[in-house]
Amino acid sequence: MGKRGDVFLVIDIGSSKISGVLGEIKDREIIIHSSDYEPTHESITAGKVIDLEKLKHVISTLLNKLKVKGVKMPHEASILISGPYLEPRFSKGIASISQTTQKSQAVETKHILNALEQAKQIHLPKGKEIVSIFPSAYYVDGEKVKRPYGMLAVRLEIDALVLTGTSTHIRNLEMALLANNVKVKEYLYQPIMASFGVLDPEDLKTGILLMDIGKDTTDMAIWQDESLIFTKTIPTGGEDITLDLVDVLHLRRKDAEKIKLEHGTADPESVDKHAKIAVEIYEGEKRGISKLEIAEIIEARVEDIFLEARNVLQRAGFINVTRDGTVYTNGISVGVVLAGGTSMLPGIKYVCKRILNLPCLKGKLRWNKIPSEMKTPAFASLWGAIEYKYRQIKEDPIGEFDPRSRVKLWVQGLKDFLKSNF
Ligand SMILES: Nc1ncnc2c1ncn2[C@@H]1O[C@H](COP(=O)(O)OP(=O)(O)OP(=O)(O)O)[C@@H](O)[C@H]1O
Ligand SMILES: [Mg+2]
């Protein structure tokens, strides 16, 4: 006791807000020193930087909010990202552990690194780069295992998710961070982290779909047999609902957003048909808008979001829609868990259930020491990253952190590690 731990910084880049946690790993426990968020003020759209100077300022404000007396702010951070500009690809890596079956050897970190390095050998179009790599399943001599480290084996195989992205977008984000004296330690993929944020580890075994519906994007991740087997981001989210209210009801954006948050529902059945709300329009005039009309506009857009998701799942083979419109799912046994700010919309789960023909739940954050203003599914990926770190510390029986964290997953980190260790 009394020994200083490892102070860490996690920053989640969303389209509506940037959030962060300043924490410390000490005596194999996680201590949270501070957590906060700052609206992006339109410096990010669909995960991409669109106003660099503004973003620098937003990050600076967030870092100031996170400052805690007596805790030195780290100069590197785990950065959570997502967006249609990123392309996740599944790849396989293999490493030989020993030459002969008679003389099997134990799997060491270097073997895991070698297999991951091999998984990274994918064709990259010009202007794209590998952003991170996430091992989703390990096989020792053909048998799936949870953690291969220390196991006797002849051959190790890893199924990995290789996240690739447009280099210029990544550099722009890094510029905004560097301007604030923050280097990227690793990139973490939001759909994976949001899964850790809200999914019950038991449910990962049987097949479950996570949908994080944010402002500009909807992230999906499917887990089966404790492995990530599919992930995709679609460019639609809560902002489309707001903009529909703007278009149909001729409102200012900020009024439409307010109406959505205060009176919005995707379930017209739950609304009093005669109820109206007074909205101030230009020049101080007031107008009465029917609550039912609002609910119908919202319901239509929410249906579109789930239909778009359904199409993606259909193309990937997880959903089959017959000619008469019956929806069958394949491999998503438990159902859907919703996260993201838009999942707080009343009635959303009925639409989800209807379109995907699956049980649908609103996700609850698993991390249990969260300040009340951040205890919402909008922060699923941020707190999921903390949950993920925690499991890495706790689940490792030999006291070595899982290579997922020991090896810096950010490509440069991986290279540095290889250089200094082999
Ligand atoms: N109670 C609520 N009811 C309906 N919508 C809500 C509610 N609270 C937040 N939202 C919507 O959630 C969206 C923001 O969600 P979230 O914070 O998850 O997005 P983000 O992570 O910043 O963005 P993205 O994931 O698209 O990059 C906004 O469109 C906002 O209007
Ligand atoms: Mg988000």
- Residues 36-76 have pLDDT tens digits of 999 999 999 999 999 999 999 999 999 999 999 999 999 99
Residues 187 and 286 in one domain: no
Contacts of 70 (CB under 8 A, 6+ apart): none
Atom of ligand 1 nearest to the CA of 378: 18
Ligand 2 centre distance from Cα of residue 212 (Å): 7
Give the number of domains in the chain. 2
Atom of ligand 1 nearest to the CA of 83: 27
Ligand 2 centre distance from Cα of residue 111 (Å): 34
Atom of ligand 1 nearest to the CA of 40: 22
Q: From the CB of 381, is ligand 1 less than 6 Å away? A: no
Residues 327 and 376 in one domain: no
Atom of ligand 1 nearest to the CA of 17: 22
- Domain final residue pick, 347, 362, 377: 362
Ligand 2 centre distance from Cα of residue 322 (Å): 32
- Residues 75-117 have pLDDT tens digits of 999 999 999 999 999 999 999 998 766 667 899 989 999 999 9
Least confident of 9-13, 131-135, 282-286, 389-393: 282-286
Range of the domain at 407: 6-84+169-196+367-421
Q: From the CB of 214, is ligand 1 less than 6 Å away? A: yes
Residues 175 and 31 in one domain: yes
Atom of ligand 1 nearest to the CA of 219: 25
CA nearest ligand 1 atom 13, residue: 215
Q: From the CB of 341, is ligand 1 less than 6 Å away? A: yes
Ligand 1 centre distance from Cα of residue 238 (Å): 6
Q: From the CB of 16, is ligand 1 less than 6 Å away? A: yes
Ligand 1 centre distance from Cα of residue 98 (Å): 50
Residues 391 and 358 in one domain: no
pLDDT at 94: 97
pLDDT at 412: 45
Residues 355 and 371 in one domain: no
Give the whole-angstrom CA distance, residue 24 versus residue 396.
18
Residues 358 and 396 in one domain: no
| Beta-strand runs (E) in 1-75 | 6-13, 17-26, 29-39, 44-45, 48-49
**β pairing state of 143-145 and 128-140:** antiparallel
Residues 351 and 409 in one domain: no
Residues 386 and 338 in one domain: no
Residue 316 inside a domain? The answer is yes
CATH number of the CATH domain containing 276: 3.30.420.40
pLDDT at 3: 61
Q: C-alpha distances in angstroms, 289 versus 5, 41, 222, 272, 353? A: 56, 28, 40, 13, 28
For 382, other C-beta atoms within 10 Å of its C-beta total 29
- Domain final residue pick, 325, 347, 362: 362
Give the whole-angstrom CA distance, residue 147 versus residue 151.
8
Q: From the CB of 264, is ligand 1 less than 6 Å away? A: yes
Residues 269 and 348 in one domain: yes
pLDDT tier at 394, thresholds 50, 70, 90: confident
Q: From the CB of 378, is ligand 1 less than 6 Å away? A: yes
Residues 315 and 337 in one domain: yes
CA nearest ligand 1 atom 31, residue: 238
Which of 11, 15, 16, 259 gets mutated to test ligand 1 (max ligand atoms within 8 A of its CB)? Answer: 16
Residues 31 and 77 in one domain: yes
pLDDT at 400: 47
pLDDT at 281: 75
Residue 110 inside a domain? The answer is no
Instruction: Record the tokens describing residue 379, joined without a space.
Output: 């922060």
